[in-house]
Amino acid sequence: MARFLSIYFTNLRCDYLAIRKPELKGKIYVFTIAQRGRIQVSASSGEAEKHGIFTNMALADAKAIIPNVQAFDDEIDFNKKLLTRIAKWATRYAPTVSIDLPDGIILDTSGCSHLLGGEEKYLESILSKLNQSGYTCRGAISDTIGTSWAIARLGVKLMIIQPGNQYNALLNLPPMALRLEPHIIQRLHKLGFDKIGKFIQLPTSVLRRRFGTEFLLRLHQAIGTEEESITPIVVKPPFEERLFCLEPICTKPAIEIAIEKLLETLCARLSNEGMGIRLAELIGYRLDGKVTQIKIGTNQPTHNIKHLAKLFELKIAQIEPALGIELFIMTATKTEPLFIHQEKLWNGKPGLADQGLAQLLDRLAGKVGAQAIRRYIPEAHYWPERSLRPAVSLEEKSEIQWQKNNPRPMEMLHRPASIQVTAPIPDYPPMNFRYKDELHIVSKADGPERIEREWWMEPGEHRDYYLLEDDKGRRYWVFRSGHYNEEQSDWFLHGFFA
């Protein structure tokens, strides 16, 4: 049976400000918003309400009551933002949480409350946390969203409605507890229906004719004969595991144990469905209300507990437990179907497809960052700097071959170094060159190899490359930028040959 908790914030907007500005506590202040050509009160503090300043009143009227009332500019949709934030915080109590505009949130607590020792303690724990942070709020738990909503707002004593008891719980409440349009409520009051119990037993055909289908829907939703669902703010990913800690955790071994326990259950589910983790995250909810998280990624889908535990272990240092972590949630944010490699009995090593290698690279990526790991595949360019590019994945293979016809240097400088050269006649290799204050006498030379600049990509001169060997046997790759020019030719050293 589903159970829902509805939390009602009696004065959300003003509480929010009072938390940030403690000096406002107990003062008379209002929020205003420009509407239909006048300035209206959109929210008023508890003290202001006592003096008769209510929402939707014109600011001018409010000022007539209290001349020096403090007015703050309100923001459109601010409540929505604030409730979303609170709802996100509340996901630590239940995975499905939705906001209930304008002044509440709803939690689907089915199967959650026993984790905190029953519904009473569960409700108390949430409400006291919210109260401590400065929000005045009420909450109620029942089988339906409608009843919870009604009890949270208008209930008197009993805030937890036992399963199946919605009907009785609603009897003494006024019709506004049913989330109805104002004109329907007015009509009900006009007809003397000031309590739900007075009309709940009337035949549906009569009620439909008088108050419309919307009214019936709300009534049945509250009783539970009609289904109602909520839109969660965070869609729960299919692979998620939670671990409540008996005591707040703040040591490394404890976190390791938590990770292992979570992985055990998560990986068991994954392996049943033949899936593997590509991305996963571990979220720790701290005692002080903050959230700390770490993320891991893998090169191949896997549900190997040992391997994943190792990846998380590398990141434990990034977790800040502060006073302690009370809840861990592990989520497989990206999963992929597992492909099972056929293992060869003989002929051992499968190269890049090797499992061990993939796991090694995952660990390295976890420690030093994935951007440090590169593999290169050839590109269809002659320009040396562009003749290769980093591969996207371990499996990626290029259609093109590495070009072999011309020699390429073992070491290439990222940026060609300027050198001074003595060259006898155009298109002849240099006789000597000066690099880093050392004169190199060229004894053997090869070239030139002309490489045109790809003018559709960048402007500039072509390069004439020479392979030079100096008198000590050291081999260099130098080029002249552009054509030979008697006055001034630019020469560069671009690499070293083996």
Partner 1 sequence: MTAEKQEILASLRKQILEVQGFKSGFTANGDSFGLDKIEACFPNSIFPTGTIHEFISEQAEDTAASEGFIAGLLAKLMKNGNSCLWISSSRKLFPPSLEAYGVDPQQIIFIDLNYSKEILWVMEEALKCEGLACVIAEISDIDFAQSRRLQLATEKSQVTGFLLRKEPKRMLSATACTARWQIKPQPTALIAGIPGVGNPRWEVDLLKVKNGEGGKFLIEWAEDRFVLVDTEKEQLVLHAKQVG
The interface region with partner 1, picked from 26-34, 197-205, 210-218, 396-404 by CB under 8 A, is 396-404
Q: Does residue 472 touch partner 1 according to CB under 8 A? A: yes
DSSP SS3 for 336: strand
Q: How far is the CB of 309 from partner 1 (least distance, A)?
A: 16
| DSSP structural state of residue 58 | B
Closest distance of CB 408 from partner 1, Å: 4
| 324 contacts: CB under 8 Å, gap ≥ 6 | 245, 247, 248, 249, 250, 286, 287
Helix (H) or strand (E) holding 190: helix 182-190
Indicate whether 467 belongs to the interface with partner 1 (CB under 8 A).
yes
Nearest approach, Cβ of residue 447 and partner 1 (Å): 9
Is residue 426 near partner 1 by the rule CB under 8 A?
no
- H/E element holding 449? strand 438-451
Q: Taking CB under 8 A as the rule, does residue 200 contact partner 1?
A: no
498 part of the interface to partner 1, by CB under 8 A: yes
Q: Which token pair is 236?
A: 């729960």
- Pairing label, strands 388-390, 411-422: unpaired
Residue placing its CB nearer to partner 1 in the complex, 1 or 498: 498
Q: How far is the CB of 373 from partner 1 (least distance, A)?
A: 5
Q: Does 309 bind partner 1 (CB under 8 A)?
A: no
Confirm or reject binding of residue 443 to partner 1 (CB under 8 A): yes
The answer to whether 415 contacts partner 1 (rule: CB under 8 A) is: no
Q: Where does residue 157 rank: exposed (0-12), middle (13-18), buried (19+ CB within 10 A)?
A: exposed
Considering the complex, what minimum distance in angstroms separates the CB of residue 126 from partner 1? 45
Number of residues that bind partner 1 (CB under 8 A): 56
Task: Give the sheet arrangement for strand 4-9, strand by strand.
Answer: 96-100, 104-108, 4-9, 137-142
Q: What is the separation, in whole angstroms, between the first and last Cα of the chain?
A: 75
Binders of partner 1 among residues 444 to 463 (CB under 8 A) are 444-446
Which DSSP state fits 343? P
Q: Per-residue string for binding with partner 1, 133-152, x by CB under 8 A? A: --------------------
Instruction: Select 34 or 439, whichever has its Cβ closest to partner 1.
Output: 439
Closer residue to partner 1 in complex, CB, 258/442 = 442
Q: Could you tell me the smallest distance in angstroms from the CB atom of residue 462 to partner 1?
A: 20
Contact call for residue 425 and partner 1 (CB under 8 A): no
- When asked if residue 423 is in the footprint of partner 1 (CB under 8 A), the reply is no
Convert residues 312-351 into a mask of x (bound to partner 1 by CB under 8 A) and - (unbound).
-----------------------------------x-xxx
CA distance 495 to 475: 9
- Residue 354 makes contact with partner 1 by CB under 8 A: yes
Q: Which two tokens stand for residue 334?
A: 């990206």
Q: How far is the CB of 427 from partner 1 (least distance, A)?
A: 13
The verdict on 363 binding partner 1 (CB under 8 A) reads yes
Question: How many beta carbons lie within 10 A of that of residue 310, not counting itself?
Answer: 15
Closer to partner 1 at the Cβ: 111 or 356? Answer: 356
- Ordered DSSP codes for 140-173: EEESSHHHHHHHHHH--S--BPPTT-HHHHHTTS
Amino acid sitting at position 335: T
Radius of gyration of the chain (CA): 36
> 329, 361, 419, 478: which one contacts partner 1 (CB under 8 A)?
361
Angle separating helix axes 204-223 and 145-154, nearest 10 degrees: 80
Q: Return the residue of 475, 481, 482, 490 that touches partner 1, per CB under 8 A.
A: 475
Instruction: Say if residue 174 is preceded by a cis peptide, omega within 30 of 0.
Output: no
Sole window of 61-69, 224-232, 258-266, 365-373 interacting with partner 1 (rule: CB under 8 A): 365-373
Mask 366-395, x = binds partner 1 (CB under 8 A)? -xx---xxxxxxx-----x--xx--x----
Cα gap 217→197, rounded to integer Å: 17
Integer Cα distance of 366 and 78 in angstroms? 39
Q: Is 231 in the site for partner 1 (CB under 8 A)?
A: no
| Closer Cβ to partner 1, 167 or 496, answer by number | 496
Q: Which listed residue (453, 469, 489, 490) binds partner 1 by CB under 8 A?
A: 469
Conformational region of residue 61, where left means phi above 0, alpha means psi within -120 to 50, and beta covers everything else: alpha
**Closer of 274 and 426 to partner 1 (Cβ):** 426
Q: Are strands 70-73 and 29-35 parallel, antiparallel or unpaired?
A: parallel
Helix axes 305-315, 355-368, angle to 10 degrees: 20
In the DSSP assignment, the letter for residue 66 is S
412 near partner 1, judged by CB under 8 A: yes
Is residue 364 near partner 1 by the rule CB under 8 A?
yes
- For residues 330 and 294, give the distance between their C-alpha atoms in angstroms, rounded to a whole number: 10
- Member of 407, 451, 453, 462 binding partner 1 (CB under 8 A): 407
Residue written as token pair 């979220």: 283
Report the distance separating Cα 425 and Cα 266, nearest Å. 73
- In whole angstroms, how close is the CB of 471 to partner 1 at the nearest point? 7
> Which of 199/491 has CB closer to partner 1?
491
Per CB under 8 A, residues contacting partner 1 are 347, 349-352, 354-357, 359-361, 363-364, 367-368, 372-378, 384, 387-388, 391, 397-398, 402-404, 407-414, 443-446, 467-469, 471-475, 495-498
